[in-house]
Amino acid sequence: MKLSKRKQNRVLKEDWLSFLYEEILLYCENDSVDFSGYNLNKNPFLTELQQKHQFSLIDKMKDVKKGQTDTFYFTNSKGKIESFFSHLRNALAHNRIFVNPNDLSFIIEDKSGNKLTMYAEISSFEKLKLIVTEIKKKYKK
């Protein structure tokens, strides 16, 4: 899959930036969140959340399908939750969030070198907020 070309102008709204900074970047970049020892694949809460809120976390980049709305494809090198948040953090920090101005859907990408390590097409910012908030609320070791 080809990487998207980043733009110089800001595409994120002020309230989006605030949420992304507070709920994702600071969540990843602090010393009090302990991601160790947690296996999401064996905990039913993630399956329940995905079904209830109609989204998918797929920790395999080889399965990427364009057009799959509210599906996050990513490499899992740190455990599923930590990898998910780390990729979101990187997308924000490296200007790899691409908003469709017509309907405010967007694409999130992360990369290592020239290789995609996360790809997601999200239907709305409210959907992303819901997913992040629900995972954080239920996340426990």
pLDDT digits (tens, 9 = 90+) for 3-38: 777 777 767 778 888 999 999 999 988 888 877 655
The number of folded domains in the chain is 1
> Distance (Å, rounded) from C-alpha 108 to C-alpha 72?
9
Contact 133, 76 (CB under 8 A): no
| Domain around 93 | 14-138
pLDDT lower than 70: segments of the chain:
10, 36-43, 140-141
Tokens coding 103 = 């309907």
Contact 35, 82 (CB under 8 A): yes
Structural domain includes residue 85: yes
- What's the pLDDT score for residue 15? 85
Structural domain includes residue 41: yes
Tokens coding 20 = 């992304």
Structural domain includes residue 7: no
Contact 41, 58 (CB under 8 A): no
Q: For 3, phi and psi rounded to 5 degrees?
A: -70, 145
Structural domain includes residue 1: no
Structural domain includes residue 18: yes
Cut 0.85: pTM above it: yes
